[in-house]
Amino acid sequence: LQPGGAATGGGAAPAPAGAVTPEAAAQHPDAALVVVDVQNDFCPGGALAVPQGDQVVPVLNRWIGAFHAAGRPVVFTQDWHPSGHVSFREQGGPWPVHCVQGSPGAAFHPDLQVRGTVFRKGFAPDREAYSGFDGALAAGEAGVRPEVTLAGWLRQQGVRHLYVGGLATDYCVRATVLDGLREGFRVTVLVPAVRAVDVTPGDGERALAEMEAHGALLAAGDAGEAR
Ligand code: VGL
Ligand code: ZN
């Protein structure tokens, strides 16, 4: 029985719709966890700091642990730009220099339990890539295997349902979720495990509404309050 499902009986208060625990989600044999861009440059002190970006780490660590315990795939996306990337202001792009390949800013947050499969994106100098589905399997210290795409890899694992958290709600999480839906996956956004850049206040909330309008499920990432 799903949390919030029927047949609770006895007048017990039903769990709020949208509540989902990592342990319950990991029991689904078609589930995978996708952790988007939890990298130093997107955390406080980083080059493109997302407010409270580091607060997703403990939440996601619990999800990572549950998915590992259940033998389900865990994917980490990594923003991975060459110096002089088209998205950088010095090139006329919108962003400060960030997540340069091999730099400390491109490394995952030191407290994040990075056990799983890494997909890198944004490595083509002249092309922006917010979505993990534009990424390729990481290979070696700095490279990728461009022939291994995220969608193909997930399908090969029998995955049909993605649980997504990370940074930033209004850019790479949004793009990854919308692409995942387009690719035919069911997608649940772990709301307590995402944070927004909010260049314009409200961007994060608007992105969540847009994802929901496209068919994503918005869930509390913990046993707590649903939204
Ligand atoms: C991102 C801006 C630039 C993200 C990446 O991970 O959301 N945002 N590059
Ligand atoms: Zn970037």
pLDDT tens column, 4-16: 334 444 445 555 5
Q: Which of 54, 170, 172, 222 is catalytic?
A: 172
Asked if pLDDT for residue 152 goes beyond 80, the answer is: yes
| Both tokens assigned to 183 | 């690719």
Q: Which of 54, 121, 134, 222 is catalytic?
A: 121
SS3 13: coil
Residue 136 in contact with residue 144, Cβ under 8 Å?
Answer: yes
Residue 36 in contact with residue 164, Cβ under 8 Å?
Answer: yes
User: How high is the pLDDT of residue 6?
Assistant: 41
Q: Is 172 a catalytic residue?
A: yes
Pocket of ligand 1, beta carbon within 6 A: 37, 42, 48, 79, 87, 95, 130, 167-168, 171-172
Ligand 1 atom index nearest CA of 36? 6
d(CA 209, CA 206): 5
191 compared with 13, residue with greater pLDDT: 191
Q: Is 121 a catalytic residue?
A: yes
Residues 6+ apart with CB under 8 A from 164: 33, 34, 36, 173, 176, 177, 180, 187, 188, 189, 190, 194
d(CA 205, CA 212): 11
Ligand 1 atom index nearest CA of 42? 6
User: How high is the pLDDT of residue 14?
Assistant: 53
ipTM of model: 0.98
pLDDT tens column, 96-141: 999 999 999 999 999 999 999 999 999 999 999 999 999 999 999 9
d(CA 137, CA 140): 10
Q: Is 43 a catalytic residue?
A: no
The residue whose CA has the least distance to atom 8 of ligand 1 is: 171
Asked if pLDDT for residue 42 goes beyond 80, the answer is: yes
Share of residues in the chain with pLDDT > 70 (%):
89
